[in-house]
Each structure stands twice: as structure tokens, then as C-alpha cells.
Amino acid sequence: MNPTTQQNAFASRVDQVPQSFIREILKVASDPRITSFAGGLPNPALFPVAELAECAAHVFNEYGPKALQYAESEGLYSLRLSIANRYKQLYNLDILAEQVLITNGSQQALDLICKLFLNPGDKVLVERPAYLGALQCFAMFEAELREITLEEDGINTDELAGVLRTDHVKLLYGVPNFQNPTGISYSDQKRQKVAEILKAYQTVFVEDDPYGELSFNEEKRMPVYSYLPGQTILLGSFSKIIAPGLRLGWMIASPEIIKKATILKQASDLHSGNLTQFILNEFLNRYNLDTHISCIRATYKRQRDTMLECLHHHFPFAVSYTRPQGGMFCWLRLPEGLSARVFLDLALKEQILFVPGDAFYAHNPDKQTLRLNFSNVEEPKMVIALEKLGKVIAAQHVDSINVTT
């Protein structure tokens, strides 16, 4: 009788969705004795707390009842317009407010895209490795996932072309800027090539871009959307450039797609938080977002520099790692014979936490990999912890060499 004991009462999707190991880890990470490189948390010291407080006070004072009432499913019009205008400013792209749907972070945009496109068993291509939240969402909609190898300059386009030639694929999901988990960005050439290949098929590119603004240099690469606007859905988020606790992001697509997605949004949760949209809108009107973001970029660059320096000095040569030019993550590969799960157990004894890479693979996880977040670790703690981790690996690596020789 009890539905908890009636496994067959649940939908078939339920067993498909892996629980996020990361979100479980986050619960441990709140222990102040732990140095956590886990999670994908932005640096909370950079949240514009006083500014948002001021905006909130103004919103309550000026728009109180309106900001607290039910609202349109599409989102606050002036916020949608601000988002559209920012693409004009950054990339000279012409996007209408009508092409912007406000979502609960870009995670909800993924949910809506799945609802819009996927029947069970539909094929979706993801990067290898890929953002875990996307893997969870695609699993929830019972997609059949195929991986495309992520190389130093973006996905392998020969693999992409090969799969598309033989299979009908609904979506390709990618994070072309400072990818989670690897920190890798697609080169301009790869972006154009991806667009060119997809153009020949019906496959929609889901371009998830939460980190694009967090570049550590002045080089700016055009979104894939700019090469393939009719066939790309571009996702963005305020989580990394303002604050994730507002839970606001967006989806950009053709007005027709947005209209359909809006109906699904209605059925999913009516609309995103109205009060937080008003506060955010006020923030964008009052403050210079570029000034704020440049502060985040400078801080994360310093944190990235410190991490790379520590990896260089304290980690054995046999450990390889990415050198991200933006974003929040480094991606490591341990020497053969040392799995990241075993390494994590050893790290935890030193009160250090990170995410083993296996969670980021749709299939056949590479168990040697792991992700380090640098945006949410204070540098003095980071230095101490990475020195310790380096020693742990060195000892293990020697052990494993001893064992195998």
C-alpha cells in the first residue's frame, strides 16, 4: 500500500537519475575544518551584498505589492531586455527581449529544453567529460547519451560528424567557455566547425554559458549561437556573475521556441521568483555590471594562478592538469594505479575535499580524473591543502610503482 515500498509505482525515469555526489559532498563541505575544492561555488566574498540589500529596500518601497504578486511566466520584461542588450554590448548580437525566457538558473533551462525536445530514448550528445547537472537532467528524461571527446580546444569534430552521419540526434549539449568540469574552452575554429557540422542536420546545439564572462584575459570568443542562431539555444546565468541564491538564469532562442518553452514553464512552476527578478533588475539599472565582473575576474585569476603554481610545485610530474583561462575549475588526471576515489579517501584524512571525476562521465568513467574548484577556497588554505595533497599523491605514486615493479 505504501508507495515507498511499491517500487513499481514509480516512473521508469526515477532509477535513471544519479544522485549528485557533489551535492552530497556539499553537506560535508560546510564543516569549517575542511578545505573544500569540491562544489562549484562562486566566491561568496564577491557577492554584492550591500548593493543587493539597497536594491531590495528600494524594490519593497517602490514596487512592494507588485514584486510580491504572481507574474508573467516569461519573466520581468525589463530584465529580459537587459539580458538581450548585454549580448549587443558584448558580442554585437541582435537579440529581442521576446527571445529571452527567465529561468531558475540555467539548470531549469535544461529541464525545459528536455521537456521541449526529448521523448524517451532520443539521442543526446554530451562532452566527455560533461557537466553533471546536465547528465542528471538528460537521464531524468531518459535520453540515450553519447559522448564526444573533449580535447584541449573543444570537442572532437570528426567524432561529432561521424555520429551525426549515422544517427538521428536531437541535441548536442556543450559548455564552450571554461567548461565544468575541465576548464577547457572551444577555439574559434572549433566553434565554427561545430556550427557548420550541425547545420547539415536537425540537431539543436544547447550552448550552456554560465562562465563566459569569467575570462582571465581580454580575448573574447563569439558564442556558437552567433554562427548558428536558428539552431542554437543559448543559456546564461546570474549565479556566477551576481549570486546563485537568487536562482535566476535565462534561455535564448527563437521567439517560437521561447513561446513553447514558456507554456512548459507555466506547467512546471508558473514563473521564476518575482521579488528576486525585481531586485536583480534594480541592480542592473543601478550598478555597472562590468565593474563588478572585472573584480570577480581579477580575484578568480589570482586564485587560479595560486592553484596552478601549487600544482606545479607540489604535485608529481605524472599528474596532468588543465590550465583554464577563465571560470572556476581545474581538471586533473592522476598517475595510473591511483584512482580518484582512493585519493579522496586519503585526502579526507587530511580534511581536504574534492570531486572525483567519474561522476562527470555518461559512460565508462575515467577513474583517474578529478575536479578542483579554485573560486571558493581562500588562497592561504589552498596553498596548505595542495601541498598536503601533493605529498599524498607522491607517497601513493611511489607505493604503486613499488607494487607494480
Q: Which is nearer to a copy of itself, 312 or 381 (CB)?
A: 381
- Cα dihedral 128/249/204/198 (nearest 10): -60
Report in angstroms how near the CB of residue 378 gets to a copy of itself at its nearest. Answer: 13
For 330, list phi and psi in degrees, rounded to 5.
-110, 150
Q: Does the protein bind a copy of itself through residue 165 (CB under 8 A)?
A: no
The one among 6, 217, 288, 364 contacting a copy of itself by CB under 8 A: 6
Cα dihedral across residues 89, 90, 93, 96: positive or negative? negative
Report in angstroms how near the CB of residue 61 gets to a copy of itself at its nearest. Answer: 7
Report in angstroms how near the CB of residue 59 gets to a copy of itself at its nearest. Answer: 9
Q: Does the protein bind a copy of itself through residue 103 (CB under 8 A)?
A: yes
Report in angstroms how near the CB of residue 278 gets to a copy of itself at its nearest. Answer: 8
Segment 130 to 159, residues that bind a copy of itself, using CB under 8 A: 133, 136-137, 139-140
- Range in contact with a copy of itself (rule: CB under 8 A) among 100-108, 189-197, 208-216, 345-353: 100-108
- Measured CA to CA in angstroms, residue 94 lies from 89, 333, 371 at distances of 10, 41, 36
Q: Which is nearer to a copy of itself, 95 or 310 (CB)?
A: 95
For 312, list phi and psi in degrees, rounded to 5.
-65, -45
Report in angstroms how near the CB of residue 357 gets to a copy of itself at its nearest. Answer: 19
Is residue 34 within 8 A of residue 351, CB to CB? The reply is yes
Q: Does the protein bind a copy of itself through residue 108 (CB under 8 A)?
A: yes
Q: Does the protein bind a copy of itself through residue 117 (CB under 8 A)?
A: yes
CA atoms within 13 A on the CB side of 120: 7
Segment 185 to 224, residues that bind a copy of itself, using CB under 8 A: 199, 202, 204
- Measured CA to CA in angstroms, residue 48 lies from 44, 272, 296 at distances of 9, 21, 11
Q: Which is nearer to a copy of itself, 96 or 267 (CB)?
A: 267
SS3 of residue 148 by DSSP = strand
Is residue 183 within 8 A of residue 374, CB to CB? The reply is no
Is residue 347 within 8 A of residue 396, CB to CB? The reply is no
Segment 21 to 40, residues that bind a copy of itself, using CB under 8 A: 23, 26-27, 39-40
Residue count of the chain: 405
Report in angstroms how near the CB of residue 118 gets to a copy of itself at its nearest. Answer: 5
| Long-range contacts at 362-365 (CB < 8 A, ≥ 24 apart) | 362/126, 362/128, 362/130, 362/135, 362/145, 362/146, 362/147, 363/145, 363/147
Nearest to 331 by CA among 294, 364, 361: 361
Q: Does the protein bind a copy of itself through residue 230 (CB under 8 A)?
A: yes
Is residue 246 within 8 A of residue 282, CB to CB? The reply is no
Nearest to 47 by CA among 244, 285, 280: 244
Segment 248 to 307, residues that bind a copy of itself, using CB under 8 A: 254, 256-257, 260, 263-264, 266-276
Q: Does the protein bind a copy of itself through residue 92 (CB under 8 A)?
A: no
The one among 49, 298, 348, 398 contacting a copy of itself by CB under 8 A: 49
- Range in contact with a copy of itself (rule: CB under 8 A) among 88-96, 106-114, 319-327, 332-340: 106-114
Which DSSP string corresponds to 187-246?
-HHHHHHHHHHHHTSSPEEEEE-SSTT-BSSS-----HHHH-GGGEEEEEESTTTT-GGG
Binding residue count for a copy of itself, defined by CB under 8 A: 89
The one among 34, 67, 145, 386 contacting a copy of itself by CB under 8 A: 67
Report in angstroms how near the CB of residue 69 gets to a copy of itself at its nearest. Answer: 5
Q: Does the protein bind a copy of itself through residue 116 (CB under 8 A)?
A: yes
Report in angstroms how near the CB of residue 12 gets to a copy of itself at its nearest. Answer: 6
The one among 92, 119, 166, 291 contacting a copy of itself by CB under 8 A: 119
Q: Which is nearer to a copy of itself, 61 or 291 (CB)?
A: 61
Look-up: residue for cell 536594491?
A: 55
Cα dihedral across residues 185, 111, 144, 6: positive or negative? positive
Q: Which is nearer to a copy of itself, 47 or 216 (CB)?
A: 47
